[in-house]
Amino acid sequence: MNSMQLESTKETPKIILDKEKEILEISGISVPEDVLKFYKPILYWLDEYILNPNEETNVVFKLEYFNTASSKLILDILFKFKSLKDKGNKVLIRWYHEEDDADMLLAAEMYAELTDLEFEYIITEFE
């Protein structure tokens, strides 16, 4: 399966989707004008990954800011991983946030409740 890599821009996050290296990572800022255009290829990649996943799937979310339109697409991504979990695969979401960033933590907890996925919360400092 081909890997997918996108460098971060001022409005879109860095994306690494690499099955061989077992790296699934979304990091940076997500405030694009057209969220569907940006996230659709990612969702398609995940559809393919789900058909033939690694034994364990660890997903890194390291988001500094995202708009509410992105928050919907992040949920869509998490639902893909939920379907993987529902099939009996091991999935862990590693959610990075700044210390005391209650709002980002709140968002993550909301996602955890909606998807029933296992979240690990890790403190980081954004540049």
Partner 1 sequence: MKKLKNLKTSRTLGRLFDFHQIMLNEHLYMLYQGMITHEIMRAFLSVFKFMIKSLISKKRKALRKATIIMIECLQNVAMHGANEKNKKLNRHPSIFLFGTSGNKYVIETGNLIRHGEITRLETRLDDLNKLDRKSLKSLYKGKLSKTSISKKGGAGLGLINVAILSGEDLEFNFKKINKSYSFFSLRIKIANN
Q: Tell me: does residue 75 bind partner 1 (CB under 8 A).
A: yes
Residue 10 beta carbon to partner 1: minimum distance, rounded to whole angstroms: 6
Amino acid at 127: E
Q: Nearer Cβ to partner 1, position 98 or 118?
A: 98
Number of shown-chain residues binding partner 1 (CB under 8 A): 25
Burial group, residue 113, by CB count within 10 angstroms (0-12, 13-18, 19+): exposed
Pair of tokens at residue 55: 């034994």
Q: Tell me: does residue 73 bind partner 1 (CB under 8 A).
A: yes
Q: Nearer Cβ to partner 1, position 55 or 100?
A: 100
Q: Nearer Cβ to partner 1, position 12 or 57?
A: 12
CA distance 68 to 121: 21
Please provide the DSSP assignment of 50-112 as one string: HHS--SEEEEEEEEEEE-HHHHHHHHHHHHHHHHHHHTT-EEEEEEEEETT-HHHHHHHHHHH
Residues between 30 and 69 that touch partner 1 (CB under 8 A): 31, 33-36, 65, 67-69
**Applying CB under 8 A, which residues contact partner 1?**
10-11, 29, 31, 33-36, 65, 67-69, 71-73, 75, 98-101, 103, 106, 110, 113-114
